[in-house]
Chain A
Amino acid sequence: METMNPKFRLHQIVVFFLLLSAFSAGDAVSGDREFIYSEITPSGNLNPYQQAIARASNERLYSLIYQPLFRYDFFEQDFHRVLAQEVERSSDNKRITLHLRRGVQWHDGTPFTAADVEFTIRYIMQSDQGIRNRDLYNSIIQEIRIVNERMLLINLSEPYQGIYFEGFFPNWIIPAHLFNDDFSPVADKDISRRPVGTGPYMFNQRTIEGSVSLRRFEDYWADKPLIERIRMELSSDLSTMIMRLQARISSLVIDVPADRIPQVETLHHRILPYQSYLIQTIGFNFRNERLSDQKIRQAIVYGTDRNNMLQQWYGGRGELLAGPFTSEAPFFDVNMDPYPHDPDRARELIQEAGYRLDSRSGFFVDSNGSRLSFNFVVPVIFDGGDSPLQNIVADFRENMRNIGIEVIIRNRTRDDYEVTLFREHDFDLIFVEWEFSPEYNISHLFHSTHIRPNGLNIGAYQNVHVDNLLNAFQEARDPATKMGHMRNVQNILRNDVPYVFLLSAHKNAAIDYRYVGVRIDPFYFFTYINQWQVVDGF
């Protein structure tokens, strides 16, 4: 009987796999000039003002389709005019005259006019969703009047108190003509599924599977981007996203966790770090008598090894915080230093606060023998990719164990966590991530008027000096005066320690080498896409 030579059989197997590889390679490379990126969260309703919660993934999509009146430039740290041509304010800041840009068209060919801006503001005012500026508009807008197609007049009952005047205006302008003056929040409107904007890309197609295709808007009023088509596809998890990037099916992953960077940073892809205005903190609840003692709070800060967290879980890609401001935020005080990690000093402070070390348990106890113990509420993240949150929480508990404080971790689903954070305040310590807008307004976090249900002063922190300084900051017009007030606020906060200000981790985008000149907007990501270049044949 004739038998097959084992060597020949091996060759056959190798040839088979090579053929398969060649066969598949043709599929793997994405189409010419189509830029594919992945998201984990489904986009759902595509009306920017019909979202119960702001989804970062949708904001990225909106930044390609819609446009604002003004846009903050993170590199120049100032607002630029987009759909607005000029804006005039009366001396008492109660009357705004807005002149709009000429030659702007909606994706369906209809000209952009003042009626669209007027409708957008009214739509926000009548929305039942917690949209940014909705309450502000309802409280201070007295009248909106269309003067002509390019001019709009807004009368306010009181001046807008925001840090930047441009922050008053809506994020995205929506087309009035497609709503027919209907403000009702219905999801079956065509625009909820087929958005029409004035941005550089127009909606092309979407599937139930969650992918959204866009194509370049050829009548775009500004510089047209080089990328002709963009597709946002939905992935179930981070691993799939990274595999598809490596197989060059997709070209971009928005944020790669630090521990996965070596896996992605290869021949075909580079990592682009970008600043986030997101700070990680542990909030103290001042309603707890023990935590109202400044020495205990300072001890907790001294006992927390933040540098180790940054190095170990983020590969050093980020910065330690001395207060609520990141180093690139406006009004950041460069003279502020983060608290050092000093467990001995932490133990001293606890003893000064009247606690003694129980040698048997290793924890501090009060005069009644009750252990110095705190509940630490932590959100459980289901779809956050490889979040190092649980590692940071475990490190913090270990740090506290080391200085004699017991920390009991209470995991909460995101929804329970929101209720605990904003309404019930049933925590001693709570892990909180705050993400700031370009205005970087910290007064909501520390002003005593925000101690209320749904208020952002979650720990009930109160300091009259801070309140006065924040009020003076809002009223001041001169940047130097503003800076002076904010410097004082930062100094007081450093002593008062309303939070353990942990760190601000940089985000890391992974992008195919074919795309060069890539500038990234920390919030909307694609703001500068018209400057991106495509290198063919890479």
Chain B
Amino acid sequence: MKKVITILFYNILLFVAVLVTICFVMVFIPDSSKHGVSLASRFLDYVMILVLFDFGYSLVTGFPIWDTILSAGLKSLLLVSGGLLLVVLVASVTVIAQINWPENKFVILWAFLVRKVSAVPILIWATVLIFLSFTFLSVVPVYQDISGFNLTSMLAVALPLLALASGDNILGDTCNRMLNRMQELNNSLFIRALEARGFQTRFHILRNMVPEVLSILSSRISYLITGMIVVEFIFNWQGLGWMIWRAIIAEGEKDYALVLACSACIVLFVIVLNITRDISLKLSNPHLYVN
């Protein structure tokens, strides 16, 4: 319990430190409306927004900041979690197929394609997918067209997730690391011993894969968040990344409160994921925490 409290305390400290750093960085954003205002005064203004929790209304959307954040945060969460899920699913299927049918030509081709395709940057994937959809189907799958169950809605959800999951080598790297770990496990003494005794090893392999998958995902989350901003922009998903961009580029009317609120959400998401990873690791493999 003490350890959990310590982890939580450090993460809260990290959360506050990151937000104060963002306040500090925002001081240097060129802003014609702040001409003549000292950097210290600007910094204090931003910190006071956090301290008083007075975010008010968004200059970008015209809605209260927290309504805006709720809407944008849900879109970003859907994108990132959907992307992660897609990565895990495709990587799991690929690795299991490679382990079970290593000589099958289709499996070899599939594994090769997955790795090569995922080497393409997310930006390229997103652009290619939206153009292909427009050229062949006359559909421009952007967020505002998601309504009801039809092709446009399906594409508007599926293509951003596909672009996010299949770019920036996230999928290829996940496949490689999962494959290595699975091969290690298959060759490990305790699995071979279990096999020799005629026991089912599937559950043991799966349980031992969990820490590896969580470790891969938490290490890839920052890439996904970066990719998320690109995907949000191209598919007009007005998520947290899009909001930050809009809040900063508006000339003479920058929405610092929105930048802070969006940043807080992203940081919170990463921290919660890290805490979840630590706790899951502890549950799945308690002896990791012996020392």
Contact = CB atoms under 8 A, between A and B. Distances in A.
A413 B64 CA distance: 28
B269 interface: no
Contacts of A192: 57, 62
A187 B60 CA distance: 12
B31 A415 contact: yes
A27 B134 contact: no
B59 A20 contact: no
Contacts of A210: 61, 238
B6 interface: no
B79 to A, nearest CB: 15
A24 B137 contact: yes
16 contacts: A21-B136, A23-B150, A24-B138, A27-B151, A42-B61, A42-B246, A207-B144, A208-B71, A236-B234, A236-B236, A240-B130, A243-B140, A382-B249, A414-B251, A415-B251, A418-B32
A38 B39 CA distance: 38
A25 interface: yes
A382 B246 CA distance: 10
Interface stretch (A45-53, A279-287, A391-399): A45-53
Contact of B136 (A17, A43, A207, A415): A17
Interface string B138-151: 11101111000011
A141 interface: no
Residue of B29, B60, B62, B139 with most chain A CB atoms under a 10 A cut-off = B62
* List of 3 A-B pairs having minimum Cβ-Cβ separation, nearest first: A418-B32, A187-B57, A52-B253
B291 interface: no
A240 B57 contact: no
A133 B152 CA distance: 47
A201 B114 CA distance: 52
**What secondary structure prevails in chain A residues at the interface with B?**
mixed
Interface string B115-148: 0000000000000001000101111101111000
Interface string A376-388: 0000001100000
A240 B237 CA distance: 12
Contact of A419 (B35, B64, B72, B140): B35
A416 B254 CA distance: 13
B30 A208 contact: no
A209 B138 contact: no
Interface string A183-221: 000011000110000000000001111110000000000
A236 B143 CA distance: 11
Contact of A44 (B29, B56, B60): B60
B63 interface: yes
A247 interface: yes
B67 interface: yes
A188 B55 CA distance: 12
Contacts of B59: 44-45, 52, 187
B138 A187 contact: no
Contact of A415 (B30, B61, B71, B143): B30
B251 A20 contact: no
Nearest to B67: A208
A46 B134 CA distance: 33
Given A27-B145, A27-B152, A208-B71, A247 B138 contact: yes
B62 A45 contact: yes
A72 B79 CA distance: 48
Contacts of A419: 30, 32, 35
B63 A208 contact: yes
A189 B64 CA distance: 11
B242 interface: yes
Nearest to B75: A209
A192 B63 CA distance: 9
